[in-house]
Every structure is written in structure tokens, then in C-alpha cells.
Amino acid sequence: QVQLVESGGGLVQPGGSLRLSCTASGFRLGEYVIGWFRQVPGKKREGVSCISTRDFSTTYADSVKGRFTISVDNFKNEVYLQMDSLKPEDTAVYYCVQEWVLKPESLCKMDYYDIDYWGQGTQVTVSS
């Protein structure tokens, strides 16, 4: 049974940094894609960044390119999202997601209702 558990959210000032972590269980990383979605109240969930755990190729939403970095540790079965230069518009609940696809774009561009595996979410608030 696939389980995803996020940690690392919190309150940060604009321009600050946060690092989210997601621990996966029930399967081994190293084959398929894992990533991060986020949801602002009143809006649908959107793909932020996804990574192939096979070749470590990545994809990012245009709104976070150059500021966020996704990485994975296959030995620890963990995926991370380093978020720098945070903006108030980054405020959202961030979810770790996983699907049996091979390309990062295939996961990050999925409609949220097509994704089977979600973590419980972690709140990120960017505010002064």
C-alpha cells in the first residue's frame, strides 16, 4: 500500500526559504515519477515540480522555475522540495504525489483527479 507523508511546511517571510520532505512507503523509489502539487483555497490543485526516480529528470511549473528545486534520495525513499525566494503567492497546501508513469511531465500535467496517490498535505504560508 502506497503511503506518502509530508513534512517541513510552516510560516516564512517573503524572500525566505523552506524545505519540504516526503517519505514514501509501500513501494521502492527508483523506477517511477514522484512530485509535488499545491492547492490555494478556491483553486484546483496544480503541479509544482516532478522528478523521475530513474534518471532524475525534472519538470517545474513556470511560476517556480529558478526558485524551487526538487530532489530525491532513492536509498531513503524520500523526495524533497527546496523552496527559495518565496513569495506570498506560493502560499498553499503542498502535497506529495506519485503515479506509475515514467516522465515527470506526465505526472505534473495530470489533472488532480487522475492521480491515485497523495500525501496528507503540508501548509506553507508566506507572509510578513
- Predicted local confidence at residue 92, as pLDDT: 97
47 pLDDT above the threshold of 90: yes
How far, in Å, CA of 116 to CA of 85, rounded?
31
- Predicted local confidence at residue 99, as pLDDT: 93
Beta-carbon neighbour count of residue 36 at 10 Å? 29
Q: What are the grid coordinates assigned to 24, written together?
A: 514514501
Exposed/middle/buried for residue 86 (C-beta within 10 Å: 0-12, 13-18, 19+): buried
How far, in Å, CA of 11 to CA of 47, rounded?
21
The share of the chain scoring above pLDDT 90, in percent, equals 91
CA distances to 19, 31, 101, 107 from 68, rounded to whole Å, are 9, 23, 22, 17
pLDDT tens digits along 77-121: 999 999 999 999 999 999 999 999 999 999 999 998 999 999 999
- Predicted local confidence at residue 27, as pLDDT: 84
DSSP 112: G
